[in-house]
Amino acid sequence: MLTAEVERLAKELGLDQTNAKRRVELEKRLVTARANEEKALKDYEHAEKAPARLKEAQADRLTRYEAVFSALQKEEQTLEQLYAPLRSHINADPRLSKLNFVVDRVVNIEAWANRGESLLDLRKPPFNGRGILAEMARVCLLPAWKSGTPQEARAAMQSFMDQHARQAAEALTQDSTLLDFGEWLFSTNHISVRYGIQYEGVEIAHLSPGTRGVVLLTLYLALDEWDVRPLIIDQPEENLDPRSVLADLVPFFRDAAKRRQIIMVTHNANLVVNTDSDQVIVAVAHRTSPTALPQVTYTAGGLEDPAIRSHVCSLLEGGEEAFRKRGQRYGV
């Protein structure tokens, strides 16, 4: 009987140990399940608030977009203030009537549109074709980009998004993401502030070398009224026609000569005569041998000196005989 009771108690004890192990395992699984439940609830709450966060992020992005144009506007205002004396001087000097100082924004809309087209499948409307995106931007965005206020730039971008953003996002290529799309759409690398001198509405960089030299020289002579040091100029008439020499250069040289000494090297005798040069030095080269350096002789004097006048006349557009023949042809 005792043996049988020992066996029964042993079986019951083993069963209790098994139940205890199962209970521990169930408690562990319960802890994991509760943690998963809490995470799922948090994810659910996070997902429920996603539309509100999306609107907040979009508003913040537009605010930052507006801030970029505020910085551009401040840059323009700073340049206007910094160069206000230069603009005033140009506007007040009738000799500089062909010049004007400009501060404006430069927009490379083609670069912006080309970047956008690289992200889109151009077979899908309404972007089906090269140049369509650029035309849309010219209508909706370019006026605000070019000269609009920060608020107008923000409103223009909001309008462009309302009209085209959803269709553009659906037309993205397989290799393009929404992040790529957003970075392109709100990029401003294609907009910069330009400032400088223009000659008859053309930027100095786009002028011919001769005209560019005239602009820079006349601007320098007009602005250095405080300077009385000697000025040495080498061939200011290079690449210029005679009319430009007389109309654009001579008045500045005559005024500058009243306060400073001007030493000018030139092949144009018109400059010598019309600027009323005090002293003329004529250099004549004589080559005695094909291999030797030429010998240079100099003759100096004023325009009232007959010998100097003879030299000057021989250099004026072909010499005295050429002048006489043109006078007969023109009837003067």
pLDDT in tens, 62-101: 999 999 999 999 999 999 999 999 999 999 988 888 899 9
Domain assignment of residue 247, yes or no: yes
C-alpha closest to that of 182 among 298, 62, 76:
62
**Is residue 283 within 8 Å of 296, Cβ to Cβ?**
yes
Quick one: 67 and 165 in the same domain? yes
Quick one: 295 and 186 in the same domain? no
Domain assignment of residue 170, yes or no: yes
Q: What is the overall mean pLDDT for the chain? A: 86
- Cis bond before residue 126 (omega within 30° of 0): yes
Domain assignment of residue 39, yes or no: no
Alpha carbons 275 and 255: distance in angstroms, whole number = 9
C-alpha closest to that of 158 among 62, 51, 56, 68:
62
The domain in which residue 258 lies consists of: 226-330
Alpha carbons 17 and 107: distance in angstroms, whole number = 81
pLDDT at 31: 85
Higher local confidence (pLDDT), 51 or 239? 51
- pLDDT of 14 > 80? The answer is no
Domain assignment of residue 24, yes or no: yes
Quick one: 18 and 103 in the same domain? no
- pLDDT tens sequence across 171-212: 999 999 999 999 999 999 999 999 999 988 898 888 888 788
Domain's final residue, options 144, 178, 198: 198
State the pTM of this model.
Answer: 0.69
Percent of the chain with pLDDT over 70: 92
3-class secondary-structure state, position 260: coil
Quick one: 194 and 71 in the same domain? yes
- pLDDT of 242 > 90? The answer is no
Quick one: 127 and 259 in the same domain? no
Domain assignment of residue 21, yes or no: yes
Quick one: 80 and 164 in the same domain? yes
- pLDDT of 49 > 80? The answer is no
Q: How confident is the model at residue 20 (pLDDT cuts 50, 70, 90)?
A: low
Counted domains in the chain? 3
Domain assignment of residue 220, yes or no: no
Quick one: 97 and 171 in the same domain? yes
- pLDDT tens sequence across 215-235: 888 888 888 878 889 999 888
Lowest mean pLDDT among 11-15, 30-34, 196-200: 11-15
Quick one: 28 and 63 in the same domain? no
Domain assignment of residue 219, yes or no: no
Task: Classify residue 143 by its DSSP letter.
Answer: H
Domain assignment of residue 46, yes or no: no
